[in-house]
Amino acid sequence: MVKALSGHELDALVETGVKVVCDFWAAWCGPCRMLGPVMEELSKEFEGVEFVKVDVDENGDLAASLGIFSIPAVYVFEGGAVKAHSVGYLPKEQMRTFLQDNL
């Protein structure tokens, strides 16, 4: 299950050092709405990984600090830092490959 977090909650989670996959999205974004169900499905396939989402409209400072100007943007955090990111909608198989390569 993908849990909605605030920017502060994401920061606290990333600081623990666990593997985190974060979907940065907005309610008005069509591709974001398409990616949401894909991320829900994939969250069930990767054990030991926290899947979360952060609304960029509500957390603009965090998005800006990460250099996010286009959404959806999926970031992989590991060891407290950004390990990889993907921008734009990817179909399930392509997103699975991106996650497998970076987790």
Please give the C-alpha separations between residue 36 and each of 15, 66, 68, 99, in angstroms, as whole numbers. Answer: 24, 20, 18, 15
Where are the strands (E) in the chain, listed by range?
A: 3-4, 19-25, 49-55, 73-78, 81-87
**Catalytic-role residue among 21, 29, 35, 62:** 29
Cα of first residue to Cα of last residue in the chain, in angstroms, is: 17
In this prediction, the residues of the chain whose per-residue pLDDT falls under 70 are none
| Catalytic residue flag (residue 22) | no
The pLDDT of residue 13: 98
Domain 3-102 matching CATH 3.40.30.10: the answer reads yes
The pLDDT of residue 21: 98
**Catalytic-role residue among 14, 21, 32, 63:** 32
The pLDDT of residue 101: 98
The pLDDT of residue 22: 98
Query: Using one digit for the tens of pLDDT, what is the confidence trace for 62-81?
Result: 999 999 999 999 999 999 99
The pLDDT of residue 96: 98
In DSSP terms, 74 is beta-bridged to 23, 86
| Catalytic residue flag (residue 29) | yes
